Amino acid sequence: MYVRITSKCNMSCEHCGFNCTHEGEDMSFGTFKAALGIDEYITIGGGEPTIHPEFEKFLLYAIGHCESVFVITNGSRTELSLTMLGMAKGLEDSFGVELSQDPYHDPIDTRVVDAFKKADRIRNVEGKLVAAGRANEFFDSNDLNHGCICSDQVVEPSGNIRACGCDNAPVIGNVFVGYKEEYEEFLEDYEVECWNDYLKTKEECA
């Protein structure tokens, strides 16, 4: 499960599938705890998750309550990024972190880039741009893949759960009240996580 603890970002990358800006919404700690009650295998993302005012509290709570925690960061908070990388080396089975590093991100401290490269923890989307969010505005359609930005359930800062990261993915539930009955068939089809793939498969099987 991809948990967007904030929709804010301190960068404005052209390829951002979530259209993140400096303005947005931060998830409350209560909402975060409720999300962890649904899935013990989570990715903490955003926006840029490390700029959430309670990021460290969220991270430590997740590590203590989940089977697996993964963080994706733009590396803009230098010391925190390096600290997380060190934690990942000591908690390999339960915690991981990757640095988003490609031509679309703003420059960051070279110490962070070098450390993550050495640890082979770089996430580069160059050549794998997805047709979502701002990418549709900045790139030619021939440069874009029509895959899902996140083929996993996405929890928004409000607590709403979307089927996946596709633009047309419906809200299938909320962390406080659970899943909507009308999406039971989708939820039972564990082989198809992306909403558009689910619709395509359903059509082919009709």
Phi and psi torsions of 98, nearest 5°: -130, 150
Residue 152 is predicted with a pLDDT of 92
Position 99 scores a pLDDT of 98
What b/e readout covers 108-143, taking b as 16+ CB neighbours within 10 angstroms?
beeebbebbeeeebeeebeeebbbbbbbeeeeeeee
- Per-residue pLDDT band for 110 (boundaries 50, 70, 90) equals very high
Q: What is the pLDDT of residue 3?
A: 98
Instruction: Show me where the domains of the chain are located.
Output: 2-205
Residue 7 pLDDT grade (very low, low, confident, very high; cuts 50, 70, 90): very high
- pLDDT of 203 reads 85
* pLDDT of 182 strictly over 90: yes
Q: Within the chain, what is the greatest distance between any pair of CA atoms?
A: 54
% helix / strand / coil in the chain, to the nearest 5?
35, 20, 45
CA distance 107 to 96: 22
* Percent of the chain topping pLDDT 70: 99
Residue 10 predicted with pLDDT over 80 = yes
Whether the pLDDT of residue 178 is over 70: the answer is: yes
Q: What is the pLDDT of residues 61-92, one digit of tens each?
A: 999 999 999 999 999 999 999 999 999 998 88
Which range (47-56, 126-135, 148-157) has the least confidence? 126-135
The DSSP line for 44-92 is EESS-GGGSTTHHHHHHHHHHH-SEEEEEE---SHHHHHHHHHHHHH-T
Question: What band does 190 get if pLDDT is binned at 50, 70 and 90?
Answer: low
Burial class of residue 170, CB neighbours in 10 A (0-12, 13-18, 19+): middle
- CA dist., res. 178 & res. 161, Å (int): 9
Torsion-angle region of 183 (φ positive above 0: left; ψ -120 to 50: alpha; else: beta)? alpha
Per-residue confidence (pLDDT) for residue 32, from 0 to 100: 98
The overall average pLDDT reported for the chain is 94
Query: What pLDDT does 1 receive?
Result: 95
Q: How far is CA 44 from CA 47, 70, 189, in A?
A: 10, 6, 24
